[in-house]
Amino acid sequence: MLKRIAVFSLGWLLPVAILVTWLTMSHFGWLTARILPAPLDVIKAGVELTASGELQHHFFISLQRALAGLLVGGGIGFILGFVTGLSRVAERLLDSTIQMVRNIPLLALIPLVILWFGIEEESKIFLVALAVFFPIYINTFHGLRSVDKGLIEMGKVYGLGRIALLKEVILPGALPSILVGLRLSFGYMWLFLVVAETIASNGGIGYMTMNARDFLQTDVVVLGIGIYAVLGKVSDMLAVLLERRWLRWHAGYSTS
Amino acid sequence: METNIIELAQVAAASRQHGVAVNATRVVKRFGAREVLRGLDLSITPGEFVAIVGRSGCGKSTFLRLLAALEPASEGGITLDGQPLTGISQDVRIMFQDSRLLPWRTVIQNVALGLPGDSRAAALAALNEVGLADRADEWPANLSGGQRQRVALARALVHQPRLLLLDEPLGALDALTRIEMQRLIERLWQQHDFTVLLVTHDVAEAVTLGDRVVLIEDGSITLDLDIDLPRRRERGTAEFAALEGLVLDKVLGGELGQN
């Protein structure tokens, strides 16, 4: 028990140390508010913006965009990965094209995206969807392909039909890889949302911080960065939770 | 009329209990230009326990895979009870060298795989036969290699096969677990009376279990030996040693003759 607490707190050691350093440096005036505001000011900004309802407004806009992008991009990625993973014909047809598109630096598309979709919601959702598509596509494809052939053969001998084979053998076998894709895509999801919201926007956390920058409100800028960090951490924890729950059988993920 | 149907059903049920007759005539299997089986003939009577031995690459596992309908024969015919083998049969179950349990299903779910409806009771009964009923709700990852093979055996038995194909299922087990498993397989075979085809590279194991020991060399049968020793067979006896020596001589002699 004590050991578990020690291991747990080890992970928090560095963040707490950084926070304390930051506090002290601001307190003694070694750090001007223009470079980095005091932690207390950031909290104050958070409280004020929450009281006015502005923070929640921007937060939900960002969250909506992230989830919509994930749903669209992740959904298409999963379906295409599924199809190419199961069928050699589909792989021949689609995979080289997808790999070609994947090698385009997505951020290079931004001018084009803005021309196509303007700076409305569609452009942000499109960018996020494009970013989460690839990790989910590749890992779904790879997961389906790397299912143990021996298990598939066994399933056939033991009388499983096509649907049962998918449900009992192939999908569970591909799940660890699919979840890795999901976890990666969470990271890309926030990254591309930040970029999209920072470049051109009229709402969302990114817009809030860019706006604050124009008025030199570093406390709000840092608050926005902090919120992104928390969102990233929370979604990563969610992915880990899913892994623990769905991969209980897997030695690498079991909690015991 | 009605009694007739019941009688028919009883006959069908009785014949299900029995092993299946296997007949292979001039079976050829080619992978590309390589001929793995070269006109193999073998007939097995219902309920017989046949052990196939041979050196690695002689084609013994390939023959088993043909019987399981995992691969089609290139030439020749295989019949089960006189019926040509057309595809994966409900009467045939195969056990592999690795247990091939689904790691994401519990032990009992693995045993019940492919059974229709609520099959927990049947699966539990099968697990009981291999002595693992108390591990029913664990993950396969928590079992030892020998226990996993016992679960795989239970999974095969639960379908009440009439032909059980064993593809070196004991190859990866330690010596003591092997002997335990051999006794278990022998006991279950005597109880259920199915036909067994065991592929092994262990001549002593073949002589311990087989009614007949068949040697495959280079894709065809070069020795077909009846083993008339009473069961359960003890390895220490002179008759056992003589038979084992006979088969071993043939295996090694074949090797010397080739080179």
Q: Find the DSSP H helices in B56-212.
A: 60-67, 107-111, 120-129, 145-157, 175-192, 203-209
Taking the Cβ of residue B150 and every Cβ of chain A, the question of whether any pair is shorter than 8 Å is answered with no
Cα–Cα distance list, B162 to A70, B19, B68, B90, B156 (Å): 52, 5, 12, 9, 11
Domain ranges of chain B: 18-91+161-258, 101-152
Write the pLDDT tens digit of every residue in B214-223.
999 988 999 9
Instruction: Could you list the beta-strand ranges (E) of chain A.
Output: none
> In the CATH hierarchy, which top-level class contains the domain A58-246?
mainly alpha
Write the pLDDT tens digit of every residue in A110-119.
888 888 988 7
- CB contact (8 A) between residue B139 and residue A249: yes
Helices and strands, counts by H and E, chain B: 8, 10
**Cα atoms found within 13 Å of the Cα of residue B82, Cβ hemisphere only:** 0
Interface test with A, best of B102, B111, B148, B166 (most A CBs within 10 A): B102
Taking the Cβ of residue B218 and every Cβ of chain A, the question of whether any pair is shorter than 8 Å is answered with no
Q: In A, what residues contact B, Cβ < 8 A? A: 148, 150-151, 153-160, 164, 168-169, 172-173, 175, 247-251
d(CA A82, CA A139): 10
Q: What is the mean pLDDT of residues A100-129?
A: 88
Report whether CATH 3.40.1710.10 matches the domain B18-91+161-258.
no
ipTM for the predicted complex:
0.83
> DSSP 3-state assignment of B145?
helix
* Low-confidence residues in chain B, pLDDT < 70: 1-17, 254-259
Write the pLDDT tens digit of every residue in B30-64.
999 899 999 999 999 999 999 999 988 889 999 99
pLDDT of residue B258: 45
Write the pLDDT tens digit of every residue in A148-161.
999 999 999 888 98
d(CA A250, CA A145): 18
- A173: nearest CA in chain B? B104
Residues in CB range of B75: below 8 A, 6 or more apart: B26, B27, B28
d(CA A86, CA A81): 8
Q: Is the pLDDT of residue A104 over 70?
A: yes
CB-nearest partner of A172 from B104, B139, B141 = B104
> DSSP 3-state assignment of A130?
helix
Q: In angstroms, what separates the C-alpha of A248 from chain B's closest C-alpha?
A: 8
Cβ neighbours of B103 in A, within 8 Å: 249-250
CB-nearest partner of A251 from B96, B141, B159 = B141
**Cα atoms found within 13 Å of the Cα of residue A63, Cβ hemisphere only:** 11
A12 pLDDT tier (thresholds 50, 70, 90): confident
B126: closest CA among B158, B163, B149? Answer: B158
Long-range contacts of A6-13 (CB under 8 A, 24+ apart): none
- CB contact (8 A) between residue A159 and residue B159: yes
Q: pTM for the full model?
A: 0.82
d(CA A65, CA A123): 10
